[in-house]
């Protein structure tokens, strides 16, 4: 522990030199820049690694991922690069670790094994064992260690091997992570990211198919986001790490192998903005995470076979809600359907429906409908598992009911 604290102190002490180095690099007119990051060894030694890289273009905060087209052009001629969702998370995390030596990772098997879903693969060998910390199977302990590290000036990224396991750390997340900034009178900030896979997988059983968004939503002081594409996974990861607030980043276990072309330019997404997936006129469909794809599958039927024009919004920010984007859509369509994988009782949809009623009641021409998972433990049997989760046919029927 003394070695860890010594290394942390050295990291904090070298921040001024890092800023001076970056300033000098930025002022040079040559078309290259020097980039450095720190490797922290288990014996407490720090080594700085510098590489010469081509100068990147201006930061694009609202960059748009380039969708694959059917023109037959070669992949090499398209801008950007293709990544799976878990690779996009890793790229965002790696870039932030290179940019800021205070960023560190801790969790079970995050080190040389690379994490259960390989989000941290290769980071331990690159950044050292004191910036990528393998922990015992003790969620409450290593989450508390992460909160303490954040209080001391570091920016930890805590990985829960499964979101269900983080119930064991609920005391640290609720009583410390979310409240210390307030209870200390602003003396401490807790810039910590808590991330990991959750949601209903494919026959993972009840304990590994938890949807815990609503559990964490009720904790004062926490911010919550849910990624759904490689593009927003990387952007939200970077935004969460740079935030001064404690952020819970939800990743869905079935979306890790989604592939998308994302920009080569550096970009960071706002943690409080929803994404307009598809503009429309007849009904607003609010969704997030895996259900985004069930909604888009239903939208094809609604558009091509039934003549409806749904507007689809991925809310992304689960706390706080982006009521600006949501409200503008409701003022246009006057009908709302919420589609979620969270449980119906006390879920995200219930909170979202309440917020819409409080703020946009006068714009509604029909009752708000909410499609949620069944209030039962997720069955192991595949056919029964499907029955507990909202399916595209249910979304089509709900839109038809709303619009008629």
User: What is the largest distance, in Å, between two alpha-carbon atoms of the chain?
Assistant: 69
Residue 173 to residue 348: CA distance in whole angstroms: 19
250 touches 224 (CB < 8 A) = yes
Residue 35 to residue 44: CA distance in whole angstroms: 22
| 293 burial type by CB count under 10 A (0-12 exposed, 13-18 middle, 19+ buried) | middle
By C-alpha distance, which of 251, 265, 268 is closest to 86?
Answer: 251
Helices (H), 180-229: 180-183, 213-217
CB atoms < 10 A from the CB of 375, how many? 11
Rg for the chain, CA atoms, rounded: 22
By C-alpha distance, which of 312, 310, 314, 313 is closest to 282?
Answer: 310
Catalytic residue among 87, 91, 94, 208: 208
385 is catalytic: no
Catalytic residue among 94, 96, 108, 139: 139
Going by DSSP bridges, is the β-strand pair 317-319/223-226 parallel, antiparallel, or unpaired? antiparallel
334 is catalytic: no
Residue 138 to residue 149: CA distance in whole angstroms: 17
Residue 196 to residue 326: CA distance in whole angstroms: 27
Catalytic positions are: 139, 208
């Amino acid at each position: 522990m003394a070695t860890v604290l010594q290394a942390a102190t050295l990291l904090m002490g070298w921040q001024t030199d890092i800023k001076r180095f970056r300033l000098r690099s930025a002022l040079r007119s040559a078309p290259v820049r020097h980039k450095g990051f720190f490797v922290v060894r288990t014996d407490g030694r720090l080594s700085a690694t510098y590489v010469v890289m081509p100068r990147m273009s201006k930061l694009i905060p609202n960059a748009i991922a380039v969708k694959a087209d059917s023109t037959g052009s070669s992949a090499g001629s398209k801008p950007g690069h293709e990544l799976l969702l878990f690779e996009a998370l890793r790229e965002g995390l790696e870039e932030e670790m290179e940019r800021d030596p205070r960023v560190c990772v801790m969790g079970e098997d995050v080190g040389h094994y690379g994490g259960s879903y390989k989000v941290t693969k290769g980071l331990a060998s690159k950044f050292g064992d004191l910036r990528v910390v393998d922990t015992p199977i003790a969620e409450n302990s290593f989450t508390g260690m992460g909160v303490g590290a954040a209080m001391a000036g570091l920016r930890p990224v805590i990985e829960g091997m499964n979101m269900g396991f983080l119930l064991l750390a609920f005391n640290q997340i609720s009583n410390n992570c979310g409240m210390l900034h307030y209870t200390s009178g602003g003396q401490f900030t807790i810039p910590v990211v808590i991330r990991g896979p959750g949601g209903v997988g494919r026959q993972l059983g009840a304990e590994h198919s938890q949807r815990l968004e609503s559990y964490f939503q009720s904790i004062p002081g926490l911010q919550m986001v849910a990624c759904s594409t490689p593009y927003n996974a990387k952007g939200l990861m970077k935004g969460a790490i740079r935030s001064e607030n404690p952020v819970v980043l939800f990743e869905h276990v079935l979306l890790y192998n989604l592939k998308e072309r994302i920009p080569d330019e550096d970009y960071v997404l706002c943690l409080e903005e929803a994404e307009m997936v598809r503009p429309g006129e007849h009904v607003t469909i609010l969704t997030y995470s895996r259900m985004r794809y069930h909604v888009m599958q239903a939208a094809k039927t609604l558009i091509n076979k039934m003549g409806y024009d749904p507007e689809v919004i991925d809310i992304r920010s689960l706390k706080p809600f982006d009521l600006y984007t949501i409200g503008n859509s409701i003022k246009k369509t006057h009908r709302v359907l919420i589609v979620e994988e969270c449980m119906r009782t006390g879920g995200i949809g219930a909170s979202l429906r309440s917020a819409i009623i409080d703020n946009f009641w006068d714009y509604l021409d029909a009752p708000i409908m909410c499609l949620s998972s069944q209030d039962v433990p997720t069955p192991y049997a595949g056919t029964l598992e499907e029955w507990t989760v909202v399916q595209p046919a249910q979304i089509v029927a709900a839109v038809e009911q709303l619009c008629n």
